[in-house]
Amino acid sequence: MEVVRAPRPPRPRGSPEAGFSLVELVVALGVISLVAASTLSLFVSSHGVTDSQANRQIATQLLTQMVDQARQTGGTELARHEPAAAPTTVGSVVYTREWDVSACAQATVGGSCTAAAGGPGVAVLTRVVATVRWTDRGRPQSVQTAALVNAMPVDPTFTG
């Protein structure tokens, strides 16, 4: 014996049990997809910026090491034996450290350091320009700093 049920009447559209139509579901999925794609794009670009900043921070640390090495070595020794460009690999990035060393003389506190020879009251210094270069996402990058290092056996004393 088979039980036959009477067909249920359709629910009116305004009733709380009516549900969503297929068009409403497709529109909702489209909106959710747009939000997800935007969020993914933001995540990918922020990851790239973070990597670039990490590379710049490493290059700056290498630059600081170069200036510290210049101060420890002393200006006269640096001028005599300028260090050669040296590649350093950190992770998968190759950083090239470059030096530019030249002698200069400074006559007054805060004065410019010129190529003129030293004399009484003139501090003989060594100008050290340190540069670190690397490639980040196919684009060349660099950071650079300059420091004056004492080239005399005693520290200079300025009066005035």
Q: What is the 3-state secondary structure (H, E, C) of the chain?
A: CCCCCCCCCCCCCCCCCCCCCHHHHHHHHHHHHHHHHHHHHHHHHHHHHHHHHHHHHHHHHHHHHHHHHHHHHCHHHHHHCCCCCEEEEECCEEEEEEEEEEEEEECCCCCCCECCCCCCCCEEEEEEEEEEEEEECCEEEEEEEEEEEECCCCCCCCCC
pLDDT at 124: 78
| 26-72 tens-digit pLDDT | 999 999 999 999 999 888 888 888 899 999 999 999 999 988 888 88
pLDDT of residue 133 exceeding 80: yes
| 85-106 tens-digit pLDDT | 889 999 899 999 999 888 888 7
Looking at residues 147-160, what average pLDDT do you find? 67
